[in-house]
Structure 1
Amino acid sequence: MLVDADGVPVAAGWGVPVRWDGRIDGLPSGYTDALVRAVQGREQGVEPDMLVTCGAVVTPSLKGRGLAGRTLTALRQTDREAGLGRVIAPVRPTTKARCPVTPVETFMWWRRPDGAALDPWIRTHERLGAEILVAAPESQTMTGTVAEWEGWTGLALPESGAYVIPDGLSLLHVDRDTDESVYREPNVWMRHC
């Protein structure tokens, strides 16, 4: 956690230790699988060798001041102090919500004219030395009833089909016959040096 001069929290980050064999096909399938592997690894006595950074949050009024990057740097330092040696992150590309029908496998490679990543969160990770490894197209899966999703999104979901939802990185799939709606959020695996 980062605090200001008065001791007030201004940003926070978290991660979980896991074991990874270093192969792309050996990565967790995404955020949720990384959490499961961390718990299972601890329960089974598996020695972790890397930190999966699961998130970094900055006080909204303080965004744009470099605090997210400082939080990621602090997480990397925590990794080194724990003797793990590697850091990876299932990055949630923040501007992907503007184009939820574009596959994350395509979106993650979009660049600005200056060559930097189009997405600012991917760009922040790259500025800190991270590299894109692979897409995690189903990093998190969230399931609920049609009524629950209508409440969560503020949208009417009158028939079965795919819907664009507020701040969603992909589409919500609604099945009114089974009363089940499923959202699969994509992430991008990035490795920090």
Structure 2
Amino acid sequence: MEVVTRADRPDLHDTAAAVFEDRWPEFIFHDEIPKTYMGRVKQYFGRFDVMVIDHGTVVAGGWGVPIPWSGDTGDLPSGYDDALVRAVRAWEAAIPATTLSFMAVAVGSAYDKRGLATVVLQELTRRAIEADLVHVVAPLRPTWKHRYPTVSMEEYATWARADGLSIDPWIRTHQRMGARVLGPAPSSMVIEGTVAEWESWTGMVFPVTREYVVPDALNLVWIDRERDRGVYVEQNLWVQHR
């Protein structure tokens, strides 16, 4: 297998995008912050956007952004969106970054359980060290949290197996690499749309104003029929790698 950046292999861009899109629910792609900042993220931080290729096929990928962070948990971004904004604004203001924030990792469904996510994380960490960044963090979107949308991320992060590791497979992946939990990312993504848009994104019907359990949503989604608005504020979980 070979690890390259997307910039190295622009011909594989569409294939890589398909690997990522297959792993997230439709509503995730309607967050407005990435629409504003992702073009500049790709322009500025291409060295932290990698793909794993096996016999010409993209089997996994991941990316991160360098951010200024003091090392104090109180100075962490509020989550995914805020990390994007902080990275771009710091770059444009010539504020030195101290930290790589992993943003997303995806593995093709045909290549699950082969340790490829760890390969991507290790490669991004290596690049962070090369860039003289002193911290590595991530606002995780835990794999199984959608099964417990009424449970706070703070509580969910404490649920552990008999061996002391998290019940959640994605949190465990990071723990096995030496990561420790820092705490919730309270407003990691904010996704808004009309009721019709939410019904289209989810395949559900929202007949009354209330909070709803939505497949693959980590928290409840608020639907306001009178204002024709649905709002989803996703909590993620900050972890820090050694």
The TM-score by the shorter chain falls in which range?
over 0.9
Consecutive unaligned residues of structure 2, counting only runs of 5 or more, are 1-50
Output the amino acid matched with 1:3: I
Equivalent-residue separation in structure 1 for 2:58 and 2:203 (angstroms) = 31
Equivalent-residue separation in structure 1 for 2:53 and 2:131 (angstroms) = 22
Corresponding position: 1:31 with 2:80: yes
Picking from 162, 175, 190, the partner of 1:113 is 162
Picking from 6, 16, 29, the partner of 2:65 is 16
Aligned residues: 192
1:65 CA displacement: 0.8
What residue is the counterpart of 2:225 in the other structure?
Answer: 176
Corresponding position: 1:85 with 2:120: no
1:184 CA displacement: 1.0
Q: TM-score, normalised by structure 2?
A: 0.78
Equivalent-residue separation in structure 2 for 1:104 and 1:48 (angstroms) = 28
Deviations 1:34-92 (A, max 9, x none): 00001110111101111110011001111111101111111101101111121100001
Q: What percentage of aligned pairs have identical amino acids?
A: 47
Equivalent-residue separation in structure 2 for 1:122 and 1:183 (angstroms) = 22
Output the amino acid matched with 1:2: V
SS at match of 1:116: coil
What residue is the counterpart of 1:52 in the other structure?
Answer: 101
Higher RCO by CA contacts (8 Å cutoff, separation 6 or greater): 1
What residue is the counterpart of 1:142 in the other structure?
Answer: 191
Equivalent-residue separation in structure 1 for 2:191 and 2:111 (angstroms) = 29
What residue is the counterpart of 1:3 in the other structure?
Answer: 53
Deviating 4+ runs (over 3 angstroms):
none
1:22 CA displacement: 1.0
Corresponding position: 1:187 with 2:203: no
Consecutive unaligned residues of structure 1, counting only runs of 5 or more, are none
Output the amino acid matched with 1:67: L
Equivalent-residue separation in structure 2 for 1:177 and 1:138 (angstroms) = 25
What residue is the counterpart of 1:43 in the other structure?
Answer: 92
- The structure with the greater share of residues assigned to helix is 2
Equivalent-residue separation in structure 2 for 1:133 and 1:116 (angstroms) = 15
